[in-house]
Each structure stands twice: as structure tokens, then as C-alpha cells.
Amino acid sequence: MAESPFKADIERVKKEYSEKMTPGAVVYLPGSSVINKTGSWRVFIPEFNKDKCVRCFLCYTYCPEPAIYLDDESYPVFDYDYCKGCGICANECPTKAIVMVREVK
């Protein structure tokens, strides 16, 4: 399993994040929005079927979050901490390897 490209940011934000006002409201932590786990917005969750995947990279290209990254074999990996469940990946998937199902928590 490959690591999220934002793993370093997530760990750095845990250590250095503060809500103190800075001069000029400058934000010194790049990519610190990873502290918001937007996965809680989701109603539908993408389910991935690896057997049907042809590795066209369309879901990876279209994801607006980005909540999809690639593993060592170039298969998509879904980051459910951030996936808002918009369903673009399932709608654009040419082989229907991704389907949206209602999430039960």
C-alpha cells in the first residue's frame, strides 16, 4: 500500500498547527488544510473493484480534492478521510470499476 502524498503535511500539522494570529495574517504552514477531515460531508461512498480497473487514471485526474492517489502498481487508492463523495470518479469511470453506494456509519 502506497502512502498518501500528504502524509508529511498531516504529521507536520499535528505538531505545528496553532490558531494564534500572525502579523499580516500570514499562514506559514503549507497545505495545513489537511486538518479538516472533509470525509464527514459524505453521503455516498465510492466502492472500488480492482478487477475491473484498466488504470486509465481518469479518476485520479478528475478528483477535485484530491482524495485519490496512486499505489505502486498505479491503481487508485481512495483517501476516505477527505473524499466528499461527489461521485465524479464513478460517473467518469469507463469500466464502472467505481460505484457509489450509500454510506452506513
Partner 1 sequence: MAVRKPPITTREYWAPGHAACAGCGCAIVMRLATKAFSEAMEEKYGDPDAFAIAHATGCMEVVSAVFPYTAWKAPWIHVAFENAAAAASGVEAAWKKLGYKGKILAFAGDGGTADIGLQALSGMLERRHNVVYIMYDNEAYMNTGIQRSSSTPYGAWTTTSPPGKYSIGEDKPKKWVALIAAAHMVPYVATASIADPYDFYRKVKKAAKVDGPAFIQVQGTCVPGWRVPPEKSVEVARLAIETGVWPLFEIENGDFRNIKFQRFPKDGKFKKPIEEYLKLQGRFKHLLKNPEAIQQLKEQIKEMWKVLGKEVELP
Minimum CB distance to partner 1, residue 88 (Å): 6
Q: Is 95 a binder of partner 1 (CB under 8 A)?
A: no
CA distance 5 to 1: 12
Nearest to 40 by CA among 89, 84, 88, 102: 84
**Which lies closer to partner 1 via its Cβ, residue 55 or residue 96?**
55
Minimum CB distance to partner 1, residue 104 (Å): 19
Query: Side chain identity at 23, as an amino acid letter?
Result: P
**Which lies closer to partner 1 via its Cβ, residue 49 or residue 71?**
71
Nearest to 59 by CA among 101, 3, 100: 100
Minimum CB distance to partner 1, residue 32 (Å): 4
- Alpha-carbon distances, residue 42 vs 2, 10, 38, 66 (angstroms): 24, 21, 8, 15
Q: Is 51 a binder of partner 1 (CB under 8 A)?
A: no
Q: Where are the alpha helices (DSSP H) in 1-105?
A: 7-16, 58-62, 88-92
Residues that bind partner 1 (CB under 8 A): 5-6, 9, 13, 17-19, 25, 27, 29-38, 41-42, 55, 57, 60-67, 69-70, 72-74, 79, 81-82, 84-88, 90-92, 100
